[in-house]
Structure 1
Amino acid sequence: MTDQELKEIRDDLSLITEGKWFRYNDETSWVAAWDEENECDIPVCECHELEDAMFIEKAPEYVRRLLDEVERLRKEKSNVTPYSSSNIGKSQLFL
């Protein structure tokens, strides 16, 4: 994934309905976000399958965590010295 693609995902994530997403059920399952300022819920979507609602409820946090992990791994990778088998003796290759 390119840096631009990751930026687009972060940008899109910043545009979703704000607030803690939660799920509630009536005849179908709903996912909503809590609006602290107005003390009310904002419907995000209606799902006919409970499992869909359960996943969608957690999706913003899952995406944030995945993006943070990609960023962490890229930083970690940038700090690693390139490895070359020429840097070690033949006897060390098969340890």
Structure 2
Amino acid sequence: MPFTTSTSASLPTQTIHEPNVGRFLVVVDTLPATLDDVSVAVGSRTVRVEVGGSIGCVHEVEPPSPKMIFGDERRAWYHNGVLTVAVETVHCGRALE
């Protein structure tokens, strides 16, 4: 199970790992925030979703396994208050700290 942390208010968040296609999804219900209030940053070990405005919330999600990192294929889309972030997962063969 992936590690998830959040600060401040909590937003409904779902993570989905699709190992057969090497993809990890982070889905966040950001309402009532607007797209202008939302920012996403993806590193090799963390997906960070920050929602500003009146919500003031940060979510950080790590890969589903300590032997995985996030790859270079990344995309995000926002529709009707729901942010979806899709990132490639890459198996490293060894646990990373």
Q: Which has the higher contact order (CA 8 A, sep 6+)?
A: 2
Higher helix share: 1
TM over 0.5: no
TM-score scaled by structure 2?
0.28
Q: Which has the larger radius of gyration?
A: 1
TM-score scaled by structure 1?
0.29
Higher strand share: 2
